[in-house]
Structure 1
Amino acid sequence: MKKKPIIIGIESSCDDTGVSIIQNRNVLSNIIIHQKIHKKYGGVVPELASRLHDINIPKAVQKAIFSAKIDRYQIDAVSFTLGPGLIGSLLVGASFAKSFSMGLEIPLLTVDHIQAHVLSHFIQNANVNNSYPKFPFLSLVISGGHTQIIQVNDFFQMKILGSTLDDSIGETLDKIARKLGFHYPGGPMIEFFSKNGNDKKFIFSKPTVSGLDFSFSGFKSDVLQFLKKKLNKNTFFIKHNLSDLCASIQRITAEILLEKVQKAILKTGISRIALSGGVSANYEIRRTFVSFFAKDTKYEVFLPKKKYTMDNGAMIAITGLLKYERNLFDSVHVIPYSKFKTF
């Protein structure tokens, strides 16, 4: 009986170092090392991120192999994030992966970070309902760096239907959170304080962008200007209204995302929706999508388990495995890219 291939995945697109080992879509290990140093700077410092990846990747690989209870010589291929992301961080990951590939004489598999978020749904038991979405489906990728609606016709046949024209949803929430007094990353803090708030206490404007593209700059400016005016009159306004502010901000962001996905459904006729990316862990966004689409049984909503929403090596490994099965190997001469490329 032929052995199922074992793939190691290395993720280093931003500040988190992720290494995972997968066999037959099952996660044997999934190691993530967070770079907490960036909190004191209010955001990711690219130079620091790349230096820490250089230290953390070898540690994470060693730990992943140990946790998977395998020998490194059992690994059949190495996959890694080629882009988009911070170029310094990507170069560190690419250099390690290439050396690993050459040292063990195993194939190299490059992975697009956004595609990997989409394909994370095909990790065994990665979804809340423990099932895979059938093709075609719509993928809403929402994270600190990306906000996109993607039509997924097959594993490597994807079409971008809409993207943000300015800030991503994660970046927007972090900037608003800073004004509310939260440290980076602020999005999860908005979620935390929203739980006991009145989400209809404050009304903020929604962007009026036609088609399926997003824009969050107007929404962000509206919130920040509102807070500025209120603070000029009452320096304790945020403190006295924090939960209601957070709940209201969350409700509007969830509605913006839902309304665009509704438009994508009408345009494509596709009734399967899969959320992915770090912001897809947000409780209010999940609740909004599940409650809305639960009204009609023809719709299916796929939510990743929270450990697979953040940047992680498992999503790189599963994408690498799917490429391995199709003989989509790459050369050691590939060069990382920082900007998003069309699939």
Structure 2
Amino acid sequence: MEKKNCYILGIESSCDDTAAAVINNGVILSNIVATQKIHEEYGGVVPELASRAHQQNIVPVVTQALKRANINKNELKAIAFTRGPGLMGSLLVGTSFSKSLAFGLDIPLLDVNHMQAHILAHFINTEGKKPPSFPFIALTISGGHTQIVKVSHYFEMEILGETIDDAVGEAFDKSAKILGLTYPGGPLIDKHAQNGDPKKFKFPKPKVAPLDFSFSGLKTSVLYFIERNVAENPNFIKENMDDICASLQYTIVSYIMDKLKNAVKITGINEIAIGGGVSANSGIRKALEEAETTYGWKVHIPKFEYCTDNAAMIAIVGELKFKNGIFANQSVSANARMRY
């Protein structure tokens, strides 16, 4: 029997990407992202500029998502949106727009936790990929978060460990800035690392609880390392860029893998799914793929388009909530520090 169409619009505006997607029974029909380039000249996201750009982008992005999906707004069954966590000004734009559109169309509203969405993106109907089986361990790694989460069901998640200071994406970006690379620097470190020797330089792995992370000390050690060597040789960075990036990436990836090994040992769960912007990093992807052979883990790595902030992941959570009758009402408000 053919499934009845159930079009749901997903809207993402937690940081500096304005995104909209349409889903129908697990299949993504459109996934549009407007990236804000203005932050590059500031070396990081400027919250006020981000919220203004969201206001400019949200209508065109939603319009394009509907057009690409080949439907009109009156065919929508519900609106899903990112409630939090994220930048308050950015979240307010998406929340206000979604509430207004749902009210105007007289259809249900579905509020989505951004971090849950990174995890549940694995349940998007993707050719050649099977979703994780419950329970599984999720590693969410991004510019704002680094967490190890036990996922027992779609909406039953427990944080087992997280960073006590900076997120891994921030460590990459700040280290890149020290090296004189442009923002966002994480992908550039990854690119340089491809041609470098990962064992050339040694950086320390911070010592914290078995499932927690810390990256502030690593950033400081990179700063002192660069200052010390540049004082001796002004061309040190230029002459060693690939090796520095490879060594830094190797340290971060092996640190993350140490924590995942601890999580598998403590929980007895060896099915791992990663999500978040840093899950696009080639080093962590390769390490996880090797872990399948070395440790017998079952690993789930998302498509690149579902790694960084996107609305497809918001749409899939919206669809899951819709099917489970978990709705929000018009009194719902953005929550910048939203937890699981």
Under TM normalisation by the shorter chain, which class is it?
A: over 0.9
Report the Cα distance in structure 1 between the residues aligned to 2:282 and 2:101, rounded to whole angstroms: 39
Per the alignment, residue 98 of structure 2 pairs with 97
Per the alignment, residue 318 of structure 1 pairs with 316
SS of residue matched to 2:273: strand
Matches within 5 A, 1:118-267: 118-125=119-126, 129-267=128-266
Report the Cα distance in structure 2 between the residues aligned to 1:207 and 1:98, rounded to whole angstroms: 43
Q: Which amino acid aligns with 2:50?
A: A
Report the Cα distance in structure 1 between the residues aligned to 2:148 and 2:174, rounded to whole angstroms: 22
SS of residue matched to 1:293: helix
- Could you tell me how far 1:290 is from its partner in structure 2? 1.1
- Could you tell me how far 1:57 is from its partner in structure 2? 0.6
Per the alignment, residue 5 of structure 1 pairs with 6
Matches within 5 A, 1:276-291: 276-291=275-290
Aligned residues: 339
Report the RMSD for the aligned CA atoms in angstroms.
1.0
Report the Cα distance in structure 1 between the residues aligned to 2:201 and 2:287, rounded to whole angstroms: 18
Report the Cα distance in structure 2 between the residues aligned to 1:201 and 1:2, rounded to whole angstroms: 56
Deviations 1:176-212 (A, max 9, x none): 0001111110000000111110010001100111221
Report the Cα distance in structure 2 between the residues aligned to 1:223 and 1:32, rounded to whole angstroms: 33
Q: Which amino acid aligns with 1:12?
A: S
- Could you tell me how far 1:2 is from its partner in structure 2? 5.9
Deviations 1:3-36 (A, max 9, x none): 2311100000000001000001100000000000
Per the alignment, residue 87 of structure 2 pairs with 86
Report the Cα distance in structure 2 between the residues aligned to 1:29 and 1:109, rounded to whole angstroms: 19
SS of residue matched to 2:294: coil
Report the Cα distance in structure 2 between the residues aligned to 1:59 and 1:288, rounded to whole angstroms: 39
Report the Cα distance in structure 2 between the residues aligned to 1:132 and 1:292, rounded to whole angstroms: 18
Q: Which amino acid aligns with 1:195?
A: Q
Report the Cα distance in structure 2 between the residues aligned to 1:334 and 1:71, rounded to whole angstroms: 25
Determine whether 1:339 maps to 2:337.
Answer: yes
Report the Cα distance in structure 2 between the residues aligned to 1:64 and 1:307, rounded to whole angstroms: 15
Deviations 1:23-68 (A, max 9, x none): 0110000000000010001111111100110110100000000000
Deviations 1:209-233 (A, max 9, x none): 1221110111111111111100111
Report the Cα distance in structure 1 between the residues aligned to 2:95 and 2:186, rounded to whole angstroms: 29
Q: List, as ranges, runs of 4+ consecutive aligned residues in structure 1 with deviation greater than 3 Å.
A: none
SS of residue matched to 1:208: coil
Report the Cα distance in structure 1 between the residues aligned to 2:54 and 2:242, rounded to whole angstroms: 36
Deviations 1:92-145 (A, max 9, x none): 00010001101111000000000000000000117xx51111000000000010
SS of residue matched to 2:329: coil
Q: Which amino acid aligns with 2:300?
A: F
SS of residue matched to 1:294: helix
Q: Which amino acid aligns with 2:48?
A: E
SS of residue matched to 1:7: strand
Percent identical residues: 50
Q: Which amino acid aligns with 2:185?
A: G
TM-score (norm 1): 0.97
Determine whether 1:328 maps to 2:326.
Answer: yes
Report the Cα distance in structure 1 between the residues aligned to 2:34 and 2:282, rounded to whole angstroms: 24
Per the alignment, residue 46 of structure 1 pairs with 47
Change (3 A) 1:176 1:239: same
SS of residue matched to 2:28: strand
Report the Cα distance in structure 1 between the residues aligned to 2:63 and 2:264, rounded to whole angstroms: 44
Q: Which amino acid aligns with 1:311?
A: D
Report the Cα distance in structure 2 between the residues aligned to 1:266 and 1:296, rounded to whole angstroms: 11
Deviations 1:128-176 (A, max 9, x none): x511110000000000100000000000000000010000000011000
Report the Cα distance in structure 2 between the residues aligned to 1:296 and 1:334, rounded to whole angstroms: 44
SS of residue matched to 1:307: helix
Q: Which amino acid aligns with 1:323?
A: K
SS of residue matched to 2:71: coil
Report the Cα distance in structure 2 between the residues aligned to 1:111 and 1:218, rounded to whole angstroms: 33
Bigger shift: 272-281 or 202-211?
202-211
